[in-house]
Chains A and B, each alone.
Chain A
Amino acid sequence: MKTGYYVSLHAEILGDRVIPSTKDCVDAYRVPILLLRAAKRGVPTIPFLITDSPKRIIQEFGLPVIVFPLSPFTFNRLTVIKSRSTLYKSIKKLSFNHRYTVCAQPLYGELISCKSFFGYCHRKDLDVKDTARRVYQIFRIPLCKLLIQKSRDSIYLCGLQPLNLDEITVSDLVKISRILSRGEGLFD
């Protein structure tokens, strides 16, 4: 765990209100839990399968698929797999030779990655904006990247990734400061 986790933990134990909570931090970056909790609160999510078997992935979803490793070492890096031979190789690699499982999801349409700042997502699609807001209401992750699949007229949440410091641009900082100066997003 990183220093930020322990800072949140220490504050929680002292009885302070913290965003994000340590529980939500752990849950949001584990894709199956993210999708399970989001689906419970009405966010459209993609079906997923936890397995280490390429055969089962093909039986359930066919190709192409998106795969997230569920090992203790890497767990929010996504791989898009389009062919059967790549699937076998990738699953072997991502599951550390079948020691751990992966979370596989069908790829329905276009895969979008959008930055979310306190639940605000600067995109034109209203559905994406609404998903970002609802995911923030559930997990309270202030800065993150949402992975969303867009197919025809529907969108589905399929993952959440951390937003690294080098990915935050000057214009992003302006947006974040505007949100915070309005007093929105923290403990409302």
Chain B
Amino acid sequence: MTRIACFVEKYNFQHAREAEALHLFKLTAEQMGHKFDFIFKSDLSEIPNYDAVFIRATTDPLYTSYLVSKTAWELGLRVIDDPNSIRICANKIHQYELFEKHNIPHIPTLIISRDEIHHKQIQELFDLFGRPIVLKAPYTSFSKYVEKVSCETSFRHFARRFFRRSDMLVVQKFMPTRFDWRVGVLNDEILYVCKYMMPNGGWKHGVKRKGKNSFRWGRTVTLKKINAPSKLKETALKACRIVGHGLYGVDIKEVNGEYVVVEVNDNPSIYRGYEDRWDRDIYVKIIKYLAT
């Protein structure tokens, strides 16, 4: 019997489908003869009492989830997401430098520093990538801190905002598509394949509601793994290999029949009826991986 701790925060239970998926993890683990407990931010001292840790709260090296991951890792426990994956996936600059080094096809990207924000440089970026361009903070997640800019004024506006937490920013070519592929990968194996559709009038999966602090999300269309293009799956696996061997959700754009990686996410969303629609075994596979 493996004792598994699942690190969650209150918000993980706010969305009914996410809460259902979490309960399915617990049920699956218990049916497989393991112990599965939810632990919260005040239960970190309990980690040594477990054999494996599964993190479902949002990950970032500055969040409590990183402390959980690192503590478990240092104690020699099996952990999803491992600290190295969190460090790489939480920093888009780290990812793009790795994509560049390992020849992973990705969206044309440049990294700029605070000192490089001046009229001439901004014009050169528009000349290079065309208008609009995408401005991204390195710590983006859930479509936050990603903006499309068409003029110098809006470029400066968003850059100033993103520079509050980072000295560097990511600038990318704008590549509009009706959907982004999302490929779930665990330990070098495809878990599920879906399409994250853009909501009406949107260019990214989550669009912020005007004047509100909430998002409007596009539909999730799930495919059977076997029906997904093999080139897509190969690209996803190749991108994950440079990050690690844990659980990832790879966002990929299909442009003129070519697949380009947008980003590799650790801690991918798993919602009941979405990601698991055709591949109900993802719960068993993840628990098996943790219990190995």
Contact = CB atoms under 8 A, between A and B. Distances in A.
Interface of A: 1-3, 6, 9-10, 13, 22-23, 26-27, 30, 32-33, 36-37, 40, 49-53, 56, 70-72, 75, 100-101
Given A33-B70, A72-B165, 8 more contacts: A3-B114, A23-B83, A26-B61, A26-B87, A30-B67, A32-B71, A33-B71, A100-B41
A13 B167 contact: no
Interface of B: 41-42, 44-45, 60-64, 66-67, 70-71, 74, 83-84, 87, 91, 93-94, 97-98, 101, 111, 113-114, 138, 165-168
B74 A37 contact: yes
A22 B94 CA distance: 10
A184 B114 CA distance: 34
22 contacts: A1-B166, A1-B168, A6-B93, A6-B113, A9-B93, A9-B97, A13-B97, A13-B98, A23-B84, A30-B66, A30-B70, A33-B67, A36-B74, A50-B41, A52-B41, A52-B42, A53-B42, A56-B42, A72-B62, A72-B165, A101-B44, A101-B64
Contact of A70 (B64, B167, B168): B64
A30 B71 CA distance: 11
B136 to A, nearest CB: 14
A104 to B, nearest CB: 12
A3 B45 CA distance: 34
A72 B67 contact: no
B45 A49 contact: yes
A40 B67 contact: no
Contacts of B67: 30, 32-33, 50, 70
Contacts, number: 76
Contacts of A1: 91, 138, 165-168
A25 to B, nearest CB: 10
Contacts of B83: 23
Contacts of B114: 3
Contacts of B41: 50, 52, 100-101
A6 B71 contact: no
A9 to B, nearest CB: 6
Contacts of B63: 72
Given A13-B97, A22-B87, A101-B64, A40 B168 contact: no
Contacts of B61: 26, 30
- With a 10 A CB-CB cut-off, give which of B61, B71, B111, B168 has the most chain A CB atoms: B61
A3 B113 contact: yes
B97 A10 contact: yes
B6 to A, nearest CB: 17
B57 to A, nearest CB: 12
B60 A6 contact: no
Contacts of B93: 6, 9
A75 B167 contact: no
A51 B87 contact: no
Contacts of A3: 113-114, 167-168
Given A1-B138, A70-B64, A72-B62, A51 B42 contact: yes
B42 A27 contact: no
